Structure 1
Amino acid sequence: MPPCKEEDANALAVDEWSDISSTDEPHWAATDSTTTKESNKSSSVEDSSKLWWIHGNGYDLQEFVDRHPGGKEAILLGKGRDCTALVESYHAFSPGYNKVLEKFLVEEKSKSPEPDFFYEILKERVTGALRAKGLDPQKDRGANWGRFLYYGLVVLSFLVTGYLHAVKGSILGSFLFAWAGWFMGAIGHDSGHFATSHDHPLLNEWGVWAMSFIANPIMWQHQHTYAHHSFTNEHSHDPDLHHFNEFIRVHIKSKYVSEKQRHLWYVMLCYTLPVFASCLKYPMDMINEGMLCMVRWQDKDRFSKQLGMRFHVMLYSAVVVVAPFFSHSSVIMALASVLLHMVTLGWLYALFSQINHINEDSLSSDLETKAKGQGSNKLDPRLAGSWAAAQVETANNFAPDSLVWHILSNGLNMQIEHHLFPGLNHCHLHLIAPVVRKTCEEYGVQYKCFGSWREVMSIHLTWYKKLSYPPSPLETKE
């Protein structure tokens, strides 16, 4: 399941990935790019790949890397590219970060942007909601003790079921190992968003490796933490819209694939593949090409990243694929064990992750058009450029009051709040959901919350069915 065919990659290879200094900011407050002046701090134009590009301006943060409170890996993820959304969303509760940035400005191409007014309102209200529960939104944003206890139980179950799968040759063990690998993803996901610990960044940097049996953790941070969260549901920027290019048409702008995608059996067959792709295929593509679809692997020259990428591929292959052939009595049983693990985990991953963004309303959100509406339907015109409003409208929640679904989905049932505040641990999201929803309703931002998983899965499949028909000549022309 390749991330893109060659012709798709060519079509998507837009300039912003090769010329980072001229970044576009699809949903953040617009900047005045007509004003360009040379920074007083630098008389020469810096190599764009060595700078952090925020709101169109270049910052040389290299000397700050080792002092970054959030850890070295968190700040390096944004180096050499437009990291506006990354910086803004992970400093939602750190108002003083702009003063720090000013010290490192070396290439000024834009005036200071107007703040995202909707995000500012959300931040203020969410801060109040957290403080009302006795939480400091900055210091207490990581996992609480209950969450750490859950992490411990998950790790224990992972070790036991991994032993059954790899050493004891148990088919049941392989099935349970897949479930344990999925729940380990809760640790990896929190850590990949630097949300496991505020005080100990190393817990985040090592914790993301808990993602290892769902996806390569190094690849994951480029694909998910950076690209998907910065450019959610943007066809030419979000790699999550291109997982199934060969098999399923996900977006109206994607090429037509097959009428088979209107059938549940076909979708489920395709959904057996994500873990194989994310643990083996995509990492090898990144190693060989330095790209994941339109996402550039900008720190591929770091030895630790090259080593880590290759180590993960070997580790996953050894534990999941090779070990059963030494522990089972027959090749058939060993192969069944491997497939059972991959298919089970693939389904868990796809059926909880894809449904949160892949539906008609989430993919057709158009705040600019809504802001130009008529009468009572017209929204505040500032919402047209609001990254935060776009995050709300391109995601959805389901069964938000259910602890069972929260655990089963690894917290993905509260996707809206997670996308707005990715640095806030999933264990706190239920505390802020009411105020987020109320604020969205107040400003006319579409907050989609479904009562059950079945309901959101249904509209997900309905969208696939709609795209299973060949596009009209007008659609093809557009």
Structure 2
Amino acid sequence: MSNNLKFTAAHSSTFYATLRGRVDAYFAGQGISSHANGAMWFKAIFFLAGYVVLYGLILSNLFGVWAMLGLSIVLGVFAACIGFNVSHDGLHGAFSARPWVNRLMGNSFYLLGANPYVWKLTHNVVHHTYTNIPGHDEDIELAPGLVRLNPEDPLFAWHRFQHIYTFPLYALASLSWVARKDYKKFYQKQIGQHKTPKHPRREHINLFVGKGLYYIAFLIVPYLVLPLAWWQVLLGFVAMHLAEGLVLGLVFQLAHVVEGTEFPLPHGSGTMPDTWASHQLQTTANFAPSSPVAAFICGGLNRQVEHHLFPKVCHIHYPALAPIVRATAAEYGLPYLENKSFGSALYSHYRMLHKLGRPLEKRVKEPVRMSVGAY
């Protein structure tokens, strides 16, 4: 696997230039910004205010133990929705034209117990550049050895059952994130094949201070102000993160590990067979594109095709961009992958886990794609 991975030169395709021109023309013709509008601000305020209210209700001691446990679970779901709807756009610089607003919204990631700086390295830089490329995109290396999410990973006997045991593992994603993942990624020498830069001193401080404040807010403060045993507080904390992790894990996996998405390999020289934009179309899928509920909850992550092509555009605009992207992709003979509902995407992911848990035909290192020569 080459460390110096690069995509086919952009001049070999006019697809992305054409698409970008059409998207720019849409915003100019409508006389609107590509950043947040009133509807987006409403969503941000709704989820942030809901998070604060739920946290306050738990600390109020107005409810019984079982009610507080239920509130903790709902709080975990709201935390995931903040990640989807607020943090994600802010960290991509899509929320506002003002950098300080994006930083503020991106820092809402601390409310999930996660570190925004580490996320920008692993997600914005690595995942969005090397999507679904084995050995490079660590988003398809969940629990290496235990879960096989790409055909280049070693196949073990227990993978035959991964379509059964993987879904419960997704619920552990948030706990791993808050207690382990950020520390591990921060001190890795490289993420995938991407060398980790030297971190500024302030980011070392932010990592430990942010985590420390989160542990205090969700473990120490509840223990001090509520008439609960330590194990009851810990149980509420775990329940919150199991709910958060399940929501986060499912939404992210339904975009890249479903039937139809590819796991392209580079040529021996380390050059990918396609341009970056066509690669995104081959490795990314939408789900439930017509569902207003999915659009409201998932923060545009149910429209990952549009997001991967235009990560700096606020997700509130993705429904309007989708017909432009679909038509342009068809014009250039490129795929536009989509599952019509959340249920169909979930079942497709289940079938992919089943398929990847069994031997596949060995792939060659230099795949030939008929669509490349077409444009």
Query: TM-score, normalising length from structure 2?
Result: 0.86
Question: In the alignment, is the contact (CA less than 8 A) between 1:272 and 1:342 conserved in 2?
Answer: yes
Equivalent in the alignment of 2:249: 350
- Partner residue of 1:256 out of 132, 155, 159: 155
Equivalent in the alignment of 1:117: 14
Question: In the alignment, is the contact (CA less than 8 A) between 1:356 and 1:415 conserved in 2?
Answer: yes
Equivalent in the alignment of 1:371: none
Equivalent in the alignment of 1:48: none
> Aligned equivalents of 2:121 and 2:106: distance in 1?
12
Equivalent positions of 1:64-143 (< 5 A) are 114=11, 116-135=13-32, 140-143=33-36
One-letter code aligned to 1:388:
A
Equivalent in the alignment of 2:78: 180
> Aligned equivalents of 1:279 and 1:115: distance in 2?
43
SS of 1:397's equivalent in the other structure is strand
- Partner residue of 1:161 out of 37, 40, 54: 54
> Aligned equivalents of 2:104 and 2:160: distance in 1?
38
Query: TM-score, normalising length from structure 1?
Result: 0.68
One-letter code aligned to 1:190:
D
> Aligned equivalents of 2:155 and 2:221: distance in 1?
40
Q: Could you give the per-residue CA deviations for residues 439-469 of structure 1, whole angstroms, max 9, x where no partner exists?
A: 1112111111211011111111111111222
Answering whether residue 107 of structure 2 is matched by residue 209 of structure 1, we say: yes
> Aligned equivalents of 2:262 and 2:72: distance in 1?
36
Q: 5+ unaligned residues in a row in structure 1: which ranges? A: 1-11, 17-23, 30-112, 369-382
Q: Could you give the per-residue CA deviations for residues 117-163 of structure 1, whole angstroms, max 9, x where no partner exists?
A: 1110111111222333332xxxx121112211221121111111122
Equivalent in the alignment of 1:452: 341
Q: Could you give the per-residue CA deviations for residues 176-202 of structure 1, whole angstroms, max 9, x where no partner exists?
A: 21122112111100001001101x101
The alpha-carbon distance between structure 1 residues 166 and 260, as it changes in their structure 2 partners (threshold 3 A), is farther
Equivalent in the alignment of 1:314: 212
One-letter code aligned to 2:40:
R
Q: Could you give the per-residue CA deviations for residues 357-397 of structure 1, whole angstroms, max 9, x where no partner exists?
A: 012421245899xxxxxxxxxxxxxx953211111111011
Q: Could you give the per-residue CA deviations for residues 322-368 of structure 1, whole angstroms, max 9, x where no partner exists?
A: 44433352234222201111100000001111110012421245899
Q: How many residues align?
A: 354
> Aligned equivalents of 2:263 and 2:185: distance in 1?
30
SS of 1:449's equivalent in the other structure is strand
Between the two proteins, what is the percent identity of the paired residues? 23
SS of 1:440's equivalent in the other structure is helix
CA shift, 1:232, in A, is: 0.7
CA shift, 1:221, in A, is: 0.4
Which structure would you say has the larger Rg? 1
One-letter code aligned to 2:20:
K
> Aligned equivalents of 2:365 and 2:328: distance in 1?
39
Equivalent in the alignment of 1:229: 128
CA shift, 1:167, in A, is: 6.1
The alpha-carbon distance between structure 1 residues 444 and 308, as it changes in their structure 2 partners (threshold 3 A), is same
Question: In the alignment, is the contact (CA less than 8 A) between 2:136 and 2:191 conserved in 1?
Answer: no
SS of 1:114's equivalent in the other structure is helix
One-letter code aligned to 1:438:
A
CA shift, 1:471, in A, is: 5.9
- Partner residue of 1:439 out of 310, 328, 332: 328
Equivalent in the alignment of 1:109: none
Equivalent in the alignment of 1:385: 274
Q: Could you give the per-residue CA deviations for residues 22-72 of structure 1, whole angstroms, max 9, x where no partner exists?
A: xx31x341xxxxxxxxxxxxxxxxxxxxxxxxxxxxxxxxxxxxxxxxxxx
State the structure with bigger RCO (CA 8 A, min sep 6), 1 or 2. 2
CA shift, 1:171, in A, is: 1.3
Q: 5+ unaligned residues in a row in structure 2: which ranges? A: 367-375
One-letter code aligned to 1:164:
L
CA shift, 1:257, in A, is: 4.0
Answering whether residue 226 of structure 2 is matched by residue 333 of structure 1, we say: no
SS of 2:11's equivalent in the other structure is coil
SS of 1:356's equivalent in the other structure is coil
One-letter code aligned to 2:54:
T
One-letter code aligned to 1:319:
A
How much is the aligned-residue C-alpha RMSD, in angstroms?
Answer: 2.7
> Aligned equivalents of 1:401 and 1:344: distance in 2?
25
Answering whether residue 144 of structure 2 is matched by residue 245 of structure 1, we say: yes
Question: In the alignment, is the contact (CA less than 8 A) between 1:28 and 1:116 conserved in 2?
Answer: no
- Partner residue of 1:411 out of 287, 295, 300: 300
The alpha-carbon distance between structure 1 residues 477 and 398, as it changes in their structure 2 partners (threshold 3 A), is closer
- Partner residue of 2:290 out of 394, 397, 401: 401
Question: In the alignment, is the contact (CA less than 8 A) between 1:187 and 1:208 conserved in 2?
Answer: yes
One-letter code aligned to 1:417:
E
Equivalent positions of 1:10-21 (< 5 A) are 15-16=3-4
> Aligned equivalents of 2:12 and 2:58: distance in 1?
52
Question: In the alignment, is the contact (CA less than 8 A) between 1:324 and 1:337 conserved in 2?
Answer: no
One-letter code aligned to 2:93:
F
